[in-house]
Amino acid sequence: MTAVTDRTDHGDERDERDASDDGGEGRWDDGLIARRVAEAAALSDDPGPAAPETPEAYDELPGGDTYGGVLRGRLDALRELVGLSRTRIEGGTLAEAGRVLDEAAARQRLSARHTVVAIAGATGSGKSTLFNALAGVQISDTGLRRPTTSAPIACSWTDGAAGLLDRIGIPGRLRRRPALGRERDEALDGLVLVDLPDHDSAMTAHRDQVDRVLKLVDAVIWVVDPEKYADVVLHERYLRPLAGHAEITFVVLNQVDRLPGDAADQVLDDLRRLLDEDGMAVGEHGEPGATVLSLSALTGDGVGELREMLGQFVQDRGAPARRLSADVSAAAARLRPVYVADGRRPELDERARDHFTERLAQAVGATAVAEAAEREWARNAGKACGTPWLRLWRWYEARREPGAGTDPAGQQTPADEEVTARQRVEQAVRKVADEAAAGLPAPWAQAVREAAVRGAAGLPEELDVLAARAGLPRDRPPRPAWWPLAVLAQASMTLLQVFGGLWLVGQIVGVLEPGLLPPVLVMLAGIIGGPLVEWACSVAARGPARRYGQEAGRRLREAAAGCGRARVLDPVSAELMRYREVREQYVAVTGLSTTGS
């Protein structure tokens, strides 16, 4: 009986062959003739080839499942991770994660009763022969002409796979059904087998088809032969990158009928060694991993064992979830460099905050303001408690040298001070940003630095305003309780000097009785007592003057710290918190514990 063939790009040559085999009356197609043949085969002892179903037979049935448990949590975490990272990480880096989320949503909407398994292999490996052997009917072309398979061909054992095949992009004319005998192979119910073009085809379009479909199927059967099982392209381009998908991978050594004696076992052992070097775990002794076996699709040796394994695999209904879990793990592995730091906890500790505040205080001149306030207090104390003659002399000196209050030569001008202060502020911001970004992945370190730079814009000007407001008080410094007594004592000393002097003058002019000693002693008491009172007041004023200066410096420090915190530290802390959030989501995506991150 003539084999049912598909209409591929090489269909013209096959059509001519089919027409000649059929007596020149026409070629097989998916129309009335094929359906009649199928009906006749169902009534005869020889089931014959199964007719391809009409597209209506592939209509999607209910059965879309939801991902539960750990997988659902990982998907939710990945979705949250992508959402939190879009403004921090370039789209190309997140493209694979976005694709996994899209594919997860698309696969969830489709049938959970079906498992899509692709058969992939190199030119001449015999994958199409194996595809036909599993289907029990000649569906995919085999022969010496290469490439034989030019487009993916699907074979579905049960109805309801139309949505899955639409997602893969297999048209209705390339969808087939297996040979149906009297006893239905219920073990393979739900299997959708896809024969792919050669992955090493000379035609780029064929390789692109392979790469595209491999991202959409639930499992893969890699067919290798004794000559190309160690092919570098196969291992480096496909098996090694898909090492994390071992649980949904079958590696079949085909054409063992060509190997003499125990050569097949030796090649199979070497194949397992290569898979181990690729990082792909081999499922042995009940452990999860790739299934590795040998067979001959041409003679049928070992095909039954593969069919049995496929039946168990399909009936488990867990392949889509395992495939998606492996995709999530692969996406997480690619994203690891942009989410995992070098082990340092991402935070801005108190030491870094204190150093930043201290640098801002230096930039705004808090120490100088404190010293100036202290000197101002002491100067006011000297004015109030000093002798009148000394105060008069100081006033005279100030009037005699009008330039005494200006900056001496060599001292920085206000313009130079402003430039220096700006440089100190920029240096402080740069230093705290570097400390906060130390050890972070590059995108998040850059985000921290950018947040610090944005906050530093206008910071020097605002600090200048704060320095003017919180620096030296415009009113007179407060006075201690003993200050009036000191002023009274100084006035008394002055009165003693005046009284002694008048007393002495009166004796000289003869108004008073002569007696040099008493007026001299009174004058000496006033002359010596005045400086003593001033010295005592200066000693007593050191403590209040120091506290007053410290308070002025503290106010300026706090004002500068508040401004720096609002403009720089808080934005930097917000970026670090955002990074901690995405890192927690990344840990949830990987399925690891927090300590393992």
Distance in angstroms (rounded) separating the CA atoms of residues 543 and 307:
96
Q: Quote the percentage of the chain above a pLDDT of 70.
A: 76
Contact 393, 573 (CB under 8 A): no
Alpha-helical segments (H) within 365-516: 366-385, 388-400, 414-437, 442-456, 459-470, 483-509
pLDDT tens for 320-369 read 999 999 999 999 999 998 888 766 677 788 888 888 888 887 777 777 77
Nearest Cα neighbor of 123 from 215, 196, 175, 219 is 196
Residue type at position 454 = R
Output the pLDDT for position 65.
Answer: 52
Does the reported pTM lie above 0.85?
no
Element (H, E) at 193: strand 191-195
Going by C-alpha positions, the residue among 413, 471, 559 that lies closest to residue 421 is: 413
pLDDT band, residue 420 (cuts 50/70/90): low
- Tens digit of pLDDT for each residue in 267-315? 999 999 999 999 999 987 778 899 999 999 999 999 999 999 999 999 9
- Averaged pLDDT for residues 21-30: 36
| Helices within 60-180 (DSSP H only) | 69-85, 91-108, 127-135, 162-168
CB burial class (10 A; 0-12, 13-18, 19+) of residue 570? Answer: middle
Average pLDDT over residues 394-412: 55
- The rounded distance, in Å, linking the Cα atoms of 298 and 482 is 115
Dihedral angle computed from the Cα positions of residues 127, 21, 6 and 239, in that order, rounded to the nearest 10 degrees: 10
